[in-house]
Amino acid sequence: MSPFSALLARDLRLTVREGGGVGLALGFFALVATLVPLGVGPDMVVLAKVGAGILWVGAALAALLSLDRLFQADYEDGSLDLIALSPLSLEGAAAAKMLAHWLATGLPLTLLSPLLSVFFDLPAPATAMLAASLLLGTPAVSAAGAIGASLTLSLRRGGLILPLIVLPLLTPAVIFGTGMVVEVQTGLATGALGFLAAFSLVTVLLSPFVAAMAVRLNLAG
Amino acid sequence: MFDWLFRYANPARFMGLSGALLPWLVAATVLTIGTGLYLGFSTPPDYQQGHTVLIMFVHVPAASMATIVYFSLAMASLFSLINRHILADVAARTAAPIGAVFTLLALATGSLWGKPMWGTWWEWDGRMTSTLVQFFLYLGYSALWNAIEDETRAARICAILALVGAVNIPIIKFSVDWWATLHQGESIVSGQVAPVFLAPLLTMMGGYFLLFLMLWLVRIRTMILERRARSLMVGVET
Amino acid sequence: MIASLTAEKLACTRGSRRLFEGLSFRVTAGQALALEGANGAGKTSLLRLVAGFLPQVSGRVFLTENGNEIAEPEGRGRFIGWLGHHDALKASFTVAEQLAFFGKLHGRTGDLPALLEQVGLTRQAALPCRYLSAGQRRRLALARLLLTARPLWLLDEPFAALDITGKALVAHLIALHCGQGGMVIAATHEPLGLNNETLRVGNESLNL
């Protein structure tokens, strides 16, 4: 087992054992999907129009919930020092943590989205496209989130600041992700898929380097 | 490469130089903004917008400053990361609240202009929306600064955030514009500015930029003096 | 094979406080160095500086391997065994799991049961770390240090939280490591029990 997969496996195991990150995110996602119709009213025509946007925003918020502990837990108990001295580079470690976070939140949220689409009467093609856009876009959420988590790892109340600095960075993901669904609903080709793919790719590729830089600075603090 | 810059980056030398420069900068700012306002008020009312066009003279420069200040902040952050210079740290930190106020001014005047033109205080127009996101970027940056206790660490960490934001801003602007055209927001304003409005608009832009430089310089000087006072009280030389 | 660690004219500043400056020392294979100094004198900072966590404000730190100097922080890090203030243990992991993870992270497949026996944790192997006492946690951290098999040990208060047998164990492991040609730098208030060098850390004139 390589150092990378060792860290990945450990983080996944920790998520399962400590604090139920997966269940928490899914529960939050489902609650958003329940509360919005309660606020907006049960008009299915209206809900079908806003559904994709609500579910995208809900998924992004749900994925951010457990992010603040991504580096913080390892920073506080000294594990991050040992990881920094291990054969795994900090870039590799950040990538492993990002992937673990996505497997524990982005992927399950994507899988839950078709079920929640029912609440908004999304037709089958829109539902499928929403899931596809989440599959493509949630890695960017984990990646941008990892940057935020690395910047706030030394803060006791980092969880409060994290969404404030990460959500603006995620504007393009929400726009293009929802845009993919709008495309199916209106039948107009807009190229949303390409833009979302490009945004995700760039974010996922850059994030480990930025996060590693922030971790290094924080270990020096 | 930047040796010439860092000859003036020694805080003591900087204080001397900026102190001499400041009165001239204040005078230039007052003069330029005064001229801009005079030119603005002497323009004829626009055939479409009437006298509301005057709002554009305070709105458009504020909106461009929102981006220009962020760019300056990002540049200072880059120096802060590469050269680890205290002046760059202070410059980046002090630019943020100034930029946030310009952004807020752009949003407020845009809203005031929107009420007579669109009939609503807010319209999800592409430019207004990106300015709003820009405001949140400033907010996040300042929140992070205030949350990290150690000043040196805060400077470096926030510099990373500023650079990430700077890379993201064009992407955000692009995505928001794309989104605005997708939803066919009825845009009343065309991109064209009538020639009579160009002179006051450009003068106001210059004035705003000078105002930013002036405020920035004052804030940097204040912060350096604050640090000096603090280190005197602690009794340790920095 | 790492022959020596050299530090030349190191300085360290935390915030606006100068902890130490002009600090030079050298540790060669088989040697141990004890760092002494008051609380807050900068012992931990010096260890973190050697480990490459803290940036060097001035001076140089390098390892010598076959006549080559390794000065780059990440390069040095690959030779360092770290025992910090914190034990870096996860509450829900068992002792064996915890050790196995660090083994895999370091690409080392040591004899884990033998290691646990060496530090006296055989009976606790299947116990989640949340039930360990402070001393037992420290012993597990020592087992990890042995498992990673790095030539240069940086130990921050290695005797903390340990009982008499635990302290004897630490002294024994340090002696063993040096006997095998390893190097040890330990920040400690207690004698290492070795024929070791001692370095006083601190800038007394500034500690008001």
C118 pLDDT band, cuts 50/70/90, is very high
CA dist., res. A89 & res. A96, Å (int): 11
Say yes or no: C147 contacts chain A, CB-CB below 8 A.
Answer: no
Say yes or no: C110 contacts chain A, CB-CB below 8 A.
Answer: no
pTM for this entry: 0.91
Provide the token pair at A38: 């309660």
C81: helix, coil or strand? Answer: strand
Which pLDDT does position A60 carry in this prediction? 96
**Is the separation of the CB atoms in A183 and A192 below 8 Å?**
yes
Q: Tell whether the model's pLDDT for residue A128 goes beyond 90.
A: yes
Closest residue in chain A to residue C91, using alpha carbons only? A18
A143 pLDDT band, cuts 50/70/90, is very high
* C34 within some domain: yes
User: What range defines the domain where residue C11 resides?
Assistant: 1-79+191-208
The shortest C-alpha distance from C170 to chain A (Å) reads: 19
Q: What angle do CA C136, C139, C143 make, to 5 degrees?
A: 140
C186: helix, coil or strand? Answer: strand
Q: Which of A17-21, B152-156, C145-149 has the lowest mean pLDDT?
A: A17-21
Q: Tell whether the model's pLDDT for residue B236 goes beyond 60.
A: no
Which pLDDT does position B187 carry in this prediction? 46
ipTM over 0.85: yes
Over residues B27-41, the pLDDT tens digits come to 999 999 999 999 988
Which pLDDT does position B119 carry in this prediction? 85
Cβ of C15 and B150 within 8 Å?
yes
C10: helix, coil or strand? Answer: strand
Say yes or no: A154 contacts chain B, CB-CB below 8 A.
Answer: yes
From B173, B210, B170, select the one nearest B32 (Cα to Cα): B210
Over residues A82-88, mean pLDDT: 95
User: What range defines the domain where residue A152 resides?
Assistant: 3-220
Count of other CB atoms within 10 angstroms of residue C194: 16
The shortest C-alpha distance from B22 to chain A (Å) reads: 34
C41 pLDDT band, cuts 50/70/90, is confident
**Could you tell me which chains touch chain A, where touching means 3 or more CB pairs under 8 A?**
B, C
Which pLDDT does position C205 carry in this prediction? 46
The total number of structural domains in chain A stands at: 1
CA dist., res. B184 & res. B172, Å (int): 18
Over residues A206-213, mean pLDDT: 97
CA dist., res. A19 & res. C98, Å (int): 18
Write down the residue that tokens 């941008």 correspond to: A144
Over residues C124-178, the pLDDT tens digits come to 999 999 999 999 999 999 999 999 999 999 999 999 889 999 999 999 999 999 9
Half-sphere exposure of B66 (CA within 13 A, CB side): 30
**Strand C152-156 to C80-83 pairing:** parallel
Q: Tell whether the model's pLDDT for residue C38 goes beyond 90.
A: no
Residue type, B33: I
Which pLDDT does position B238 carry in this prediction? 46
Q: Which of A128-137, A188-197, B156-165, B193-202 has the lowest mean pLDDT?
A: B193-202
Over residues B202-210, mean pLDDT: 95
The DSSP letter of residue B150 is: S
Q: Chain B residues with CB inside 8 Å of C208's CB?
A: 235
A10 pLDDT band, cuts 50/70/90, is very high
Q: Chain A residues with CB inside 8 Å of C102's CB?
A: 82, 86
**Which A residues in the span 64-103 are in contact with B, Cβ-Cβ below 8 Å?**
none
Say yes or no: C89 contacts chain A, CB-CB below 8 A.
Answer: yes
CA dist., res. C153 & res. A12, Å (int): 30
The total number of structural domains in chain C stands at: 1
Query: What percent of chain B clears pLDDT 70, i.e. is strictly above it?
Result: 89
Q: Is the dihedral of CA C193, C111, C64, C202 positive or negative?
A: negative
* C203 within some domain: yes
B189 pLDDT band, cuts 50/70/90, is low
User: The CATH number of the domain where C5 resides is what?
Assistant: 3.40.50.300
Cβ of C105 and A7 within 8 Å?
yes
User: Which carries the bigger pLDDT value, residue B195 or residue A124?
Assistant: A124
Q: Tell whether the model's pLDDT for residue B80 goes beyond 60.
A: yes
Provide the token pair at B193: 């500015």
Write down the residue that tokens 């400056």 correspond to: C21
Closest by Cβ to B153, choosing from A169, A179, A221: A221
- Mean per-residue pLDDT of chain C: 88
User: Which carries the bigger pLDDT value, residue B228 or residue C177?
Assistant: C177
Cβ of B175 and A168 within 8 Å?
no
Q: Chain B residues with CB inside 8 Å of C206's CB?
A: 236
From B102, B103, B80, select the one nearest B91 (Cα to Cα): B80
Q: Chain C residues with CB inside 8 Å of A219's CB?
A: 48, 53
Q: Chain B residues with CB inside 8 Å of C16's CB?
A: 231, 234, 236, 238
Over residues B7-17, mean pLDDT: 78
Q: Tell whether the model's pLDDT for residue C182 goes beyond 60.
A: yes
* C75 within some domain: yes
CB within 8 Å of B129: residues ≥ 6 apart: B176, B179, B180
Say yes or no: A113 contacts chain B, CB-CB below 8 A.
Answer: no
Q: Tell whether the model's pLDDT for residue B43 goes beyond 90.
A: no
Provide the token pair at A63: 């994925």
**Is the separation of the CB atoms in A83 and A90 below 8 Å?**
yes
C207 pLDDT band, cuts 50/70/90, is very low
Say yes or no: C109 contacts chain A, CB-CB below 8 A.
Answer: no
User: Which carries the bigger pLDDT value, residue A37 or residue C18?
Assistant: A37
Which pLDDT does position B91 carry in this prediction? 94
B150 pLDDT band, cuts 50/70/90, is confident
Name the burial class of residue B217, with classes exposed (0-12), middle (13-18) and buried (19+) by CB atoms within 10 angstroms of its CB. buried
Say yes or no: A214 contacts chain B, CB-CB below 8 A.
Answer: yes
Closest by Cβ to B147, choosing from A161, A168, A190: A161
Over residues A23-75, the pLDDT tens digits come to 889 999 999 999 999 999 999 999 999 999 999 999 999 999 889 889 999 99
Q: Is the dihedral of CA A104, A105, A110, A115 positive or negative?
A: positive
Q: Tell whether the model's pLDDT for residue B52 goes beyond 90.
A: no
Over residues B176-185, the pLDDT tens digits come to 989 988 765 4
Q: Which of A99-103, B138-142, C24-28 has the lowest mean pLDDT?
A: C24-28
